[in-house]
Amino acid sequence: MASLPATAAAKASRADWKNAQRVLSEKEAAYDRYLKTVVEPIEDRLQAIEDDAGIPRMRGFNPQRKRYMDANPRLYRDYHASHEELDRLAEEISDATLVILDTPAPDGAALRWKLNHLLEMDNETLGIWSEDYSRGTIADIDRILGAAS
């Protein structure tokens, strides 16, 4: 079995890992906060206006929506601007996730976090794989790295 190069092992520091976790948590919190305090209220206001106008709740363009877009341009501008900012915040989460995945895991708990993230472990399965298919791998992870806390 090949071992890690000495330089990779030397870079596995608890401080680097904690910093990457902190940054990722901050980015996720900023995204969630913006979604709840900005995007969802704008969407709710927009939906209430469209409901009052009898505009069907469907995706896409229709003449009724066009009239309301013309009558309420700021609301629609705000909607699109809020989603552009939400996309930017999602990119920051993606960037922070790449950093933490590139940060050498300093211990089994960090490696478990990486495996859970990469494999999208959901309860007793490995994301897209069935429980029967992934049971042995999950057991190996638990046996070698210790049970999840």
Distance, in Å, from the CA atom of 108 to the CA atom of 82, rounded to the nearest integer, reads 39
Q: Which residues of the chain have pLDDT under 50?
A: 1-10
The per-residue pLDDT for 117 is 80
The model's pLDDT over 97-127, given as tens digits with 9 standing for 90+, comes to: 989 988 888 888 888 888 878 776 555 555 5
In DSSP terms, 125 is beta-bridged to 122
- Do residue 60 and residue 131 come from a single domain? no
Is 9 a member of any domain? no
Question: Which residues, including other chains, have CB under 8 Å from residue 12's CB and lie 6 or more apart?
Answer: 104, 105, 106
DSSP state of 127: T
Kindly state whether residues 109 and 85 are assigned to the same domain. Answer: no
Residue 126, pLDDT score: 54
19 in a structural domain: yes
Using CA of residue 62, residue 68, residue 71, residue 72, what is the dihedral sign?
negative
Residue 103 one-letter amino acid: T
97 contact partners, CB below 8 Å, separation of at least 6: 24, 117
Radius of gyration in angstroms for the set of CA atoms belonging to the chain, rounded to a whole number: 22
Task: Say if residue 37 is in the same domain as residue 93.
Answer: yes
**CA 113/CA 148 separation, integer angstroms:** 9
Residues sharing a CB contact under 8 Å with residue 18, sequence separation 6 or more, in sequence order = none
Tokens at 9, concatenated:
């092992």
Task: Give the domain range for residue 28.
Answer: 14-104
pLDDT at residue 121, rounded to an integer:
54
